[in-house]
Structure 1
Amino acid sequence: MKNVSLVSHDVCSGCGTCSNVCPKSCISMVRDAEGFAYPSVDEQKCIECGACLKKCPVEKERASGGTPIFSVVLQDKDGESLKNSTSGGAFACIARYVLKQGGVVFGAAYDELLNVSHVAVERLEDLHLLQGSKYVSSDMKDSYKKVKFFLNSGRLVLFSGTPCQVAALKSFLGEDSKLLLTMDLVCHGVPSQKLLQKYIHWLGEKNLSTIKSYVFRSKKFFGWSLGGAFSDEKKSYAVNPDCDPYYAAFLRGETFRKSCYSCKFANMNREGDFTVGDFWGFHNMKDPVGFDHTKGLSMLLVNSPKGENVLKQIESDAVIVPMDLQTISAGNWNLYHPSVYKPIRDEIYANIDLPFEELQKRYLHHEDPFMYYVRRLRRRLLPQGLRDALKKILGRA
């Protein structure tokens, strides 16, 4: 490109809109040393039409979304589906509705090597592939083009993803469709797939096995919490987020893509017809009526008339309670702000090619499992006054 340059790495979200709209197919998404995808332009093919920048959601002055019309707390009535959901199953309820209408659902799924990419699901029995949080950057591949194909075929489509991915799809399509439903997530930020793959390989080495599955938010061991799980050929193992190098660094916001720390979509002008996340606000309520909060609760923002209409269609499939925005958004700081940049982030990725064992010792700090449970036991058994006295004696006051 002689006269046109794509956006800098500091703000590029890696959505891939540019590569999908290029009329000459001269833009490809290439992973850098950190493992994040960025556009690479073949200057010999480029005709400098500017389509890439015109469609770039980051370059647009205004976001395309809307502010919430109303907000609800939701819990799926389907017990088996609820077990597979990160929180209360809002995504699954809406996805089931779309599939029952003969529609298609797009979301992030693992492949057999535990890489994460967006795929299309057309059968109810495959919906579990899209359920559950994947705390990593998802490869969009040709999802935008597939969405357009299904819409042109007269199919109802639900597309779920991070706010920047939803904005990218809408920019790619250029116009809204009554057949398109979008759902954005309350997003903290995304680590690279390179870091996740190094971590999973390290887990396999530690367990002398091949990791077959990984769930960031598993209800099997911890119920509705931040705890995860992974499995090999023989058994499943719990993942305590405080004691796990990948997970603990993620929760502290130390491993995200550069653009996540200045994300223009982390605000209440939401990109999707729906916004979904955990309803952590139940901690501030005396009695969240109608829910078993131990099984998970979803906060759901309804941001468009289309979303409002669909919510009415699923009323029989879920327990739905209206909730004021302040209460429902409690604990979801990223609804209003991007994550705060941590300097150690650059140290982690500058040394990402180190063996993971070395990387986690130097940079991916986490609690020692034994000391973690000692502290938990101490908190349960000792009264607050005695705990404070011990801190003073140990010089930790």
Structure 2
Amino acid sequence: MLKFDGTRIKYDYSHCQQCGICEVVCPKQAISLKRLNDGTHEVLVDDNKCIRCKRCVACCPANKDEDYKGYFEEYTRKKYYLGYNSDNRIRHDSSSGGVCKTIIIESLRNEWVDGVYSLKRTETFPYAEGEFYTKENIPTYDDIPNSVYHSVMACQNISRVQKCKRLIVVGTSCQLRAMNVALKGKAEEIIRICIFCKQQKTLESTRFLAKIMGTKILENLKFSPRYRGEGWPGIVRVNESELPYSRAAQIPFGRRLWTVGGCNVCGDSFGTNALADITLMDPWKIRKPNNLGETLVIVHTDKGMQLIEQIQSLKLEPKSFDEVKLALDLKDVWRKQQLVPFFRGENCSDKIMRAGKAEQRQRAMLISIVESLPRMPIIFYRILCKLPDLRNKILK
């Protein structure tokens, strides 16, 4: 997180959401990035080069005070769908039925938009980077990565976006907030697609999964990751070893371990504060594992609805709020929002203080246990996930 203290730009790694926007918007190249062992980056500000223009501060999504009052009021009235690509091969190979890839590719093929800023697959760590796609540069389904469960500075290539009439941007809530500022004046109309996110992961999460699978990630970070695909919820693969994602997610995501620090100060999991038109998420608790897959699509605006209705290869099954509310898990998002003041270091009630400290202790304890016992039977980690969640007990 970057802030101006009146004399210089100050950086706080513990609140950094790892979007990468600060480096690209600096007009004097005063900002550089230092990659750490856990795959995240530390932001370095050269005071001698910095001209205090504060562009980096304006774009930084982590330094904004978020207002969550009334956040959930509209969710009973939003439009919900289970979506998937009509081609079963694409549906099987992609994360959650391939909805995000389908929107990107078909919108460009049919010239409904002039450009899309999203991710492209790369051959070196972090194995994905930001890319500006156009009708002259339409990706294939293999060009776009499946879900990525280690930190990617997705905004680093935002300068590639050229002026256009209609633009789609895809990202998590923090990435969308950064893009909202950086892309002002770049397009007459922007359609925002939010990838639902409660927690980005550091590379330590994948290192742990690699150990469970009996493989490892080398120090040079040359490994072969595959997150998701092959049905729903799919698989996680590291090198030649793989694990069902439903098992892989239990400890890192179920118990919020190895979470990027800046995720603790963001409660906008659905991207509504980031002006998302559509949110895409997994249909946990409402769908059983299957060989094809689907995405839970939440439509926030008419603009989002008009876009997906045009895509013939995108199949949409309408669902009511009551049918999807278990997957939305609004109570858990609410609990996350309650702890934002604690993690920001602000004054908060005794209850919030107790819940925040319990969260920190629980994470530290579980990380210590599982890192020292990485090759235990899966049942061991399932038992750990059944232990009482201290944060949730306090924030009933």
- Shared topology, TM-score over 0.5? yes
The residue that corresponds to 2:347 in the other structure is none
Structure 1 residues 277 and 243: alpha-carbon distance in aligned structure 2, compared to 1, 3 A threshold: closer
Bigger Rg, which one: 1
Q: Report the 3-state secondary structure (helix = DSSP H, G, I; strand = E; otherwise coil) of the residue aligned with 1:88.
A: helix
Could you tell me which residue of structure 1 aligns to residue 143 of structure 2? 129
Match of 1:42 in 2: 46
Q: 1:308 maps to what in 2?
A: 305
Q: Distance in 2 between matches of 1:168 and 1:331?
A: 27
| Deviations, residues 296-355 of structure 1 (Å, cap 9, x unaligned) | 1211112233212112211x2232122233432423436555398443655799x9xxxx
Cα distance per residue 1:218-272 (max 9 Å; x no partner): 32xxx3125323454xxxx43145766x973344211011121231423572532
Of 37-46 and 125-134, deviating more is 125-134
- What's the CA shift string for 1:131-151, capped at 9, x where partnerless? 42111111236321112x2xx
Letter aligned with residue 81 of structure 2: V
CA distance in 2 between partners of 1:228 and 1:36 (Å): 20
Q: Which amino acid aligns with 1:170?
A: N
Question: Which ranges in structure 2 are unaligned for 5 or more consecutive residues?
Answer: 340-358, 384-396
> Which amino acid letter does the alignment assign opposite residue 227 of structure 1?
I
* 2:97/2:294 contact within 8 Å kept: yes
* Separation of aligned partners in 2, 1:262 and 1:366: 33
Structure 1 residue ranges, 4+ long, deviating more than 6 angstroms after superposition: 63-68, 201-204, 370-373
Whichever residue aligns with residue 136 of structure 1, its letter is: H
Q: d(CA) in 2 for partners of 1:255 and 1:372?
A: 15
CA, structure 1 residues 94+216, in 2 after alignment: closer, same or farther (shift >3 Å)?
A: same
Match of 1:191 among 201, 211, 221: 201
Alignment-derived partner of residue 19 in structure 2: 15
Equivalent residue, structure 2, for 1:165:
175
Query: Within 1, Cα distance between the matches of 2:250 and 2:119?
Result: 18
- Equivalent pair of 2:81/2:296 in contact (CA under 8 Å): yes
1:179, distance to aligned residue in structure 2 (A) = 4.6
Tell me which residue corresponds to 1:295: 292
Against the structure 1 CA distance between its residues 43 and 92, is the aligned structure 2 distance closer, same or farther, given a 3 Å change threshold? Answer: same
Alpha-carbon distance in 2 for matches of 1:35, 1:131:
18
Query: C-alpha displacement at 1:207, in angstroms?
Result: 11
Counterpart in the other structure of 1:60: 64
Structure 2 counterpart of 1:92, one-letter code: K
2:235 aligned with 1:227: yes
Cross-structure match for 2:103: 94
* Alpha-carbon displacement from aligned partner over 1:5-43 (angstroms, at most 9, x marks no partner): 435333221222222222322122333464422322100
Cα deviation digits, residues 89-145 of structure 1 (max 9, x gap): 221221122220354443334432342332325555633232421111112363211
CA contact (8 A) 2:196 2:270 kept: no
Q: Report if the CA contact (8 A) 2:84-2:314 is conserved.
A: yes
User: Residue 330 of structure 1 aligns to a residue in which SS?
Assistant: helix
Q: Find the aligned partners of 1:226 and 1:175 in 2 and give their Cα distance.
A: 39
TM-score (norm 2): 0.71
The SS at the match of 1:3 is coil
CA gap of 1:142–1:15, structure 2 versus 1, over 3 A, is closer
Contact 1:20/1:142 (<8 A) preserved:
yes
Q: Secondary structure at the match of 2:29?
A: coil
State the AA in 2 paired with 1:117.
A
- State the superposition RMSD in angstroms: 4.1
Asked if structure 2 preserves the Cα contact closer than 8 Å seen for 1:267 and 1:337, the reply is no
Q: What percent of counterpart residues are identical?
A: 19
Take 2:225 and 2:244, find their aligned partners in 1: how far apart are those partners?
Answer: 13
Conserved? CA contact 1:243–1:368, under 8 Å: no
Shift of residue 168 of structure 1? 0.8
Instruction: Provide the TM-score with structure 1 as the length reference.
Output: 0.71
CA 370–172 in structure 1, closer or farther in 2 if over 3 Å, else same? closer
Contact kept in structure 2, 1:183 and 1:274, CA below 8 Å: yes
Please name the residue that 1:4 is paired with. 8
**Tell me, what secondary structure is at the counterpart of 1:308?**
helix
Partner Cα distance (2:285, 2:365) in 1: 34
Aligned residue for 1:108? 119
1:327 counterpart residue number: 323
Q: Distance in 2 between matches of 1:207 and 1:20?
A: 29
**Residue 277 of structure 2 contacts residue 301 of structure 2 at CA under 8 Å; is this kept in 1?**
yes
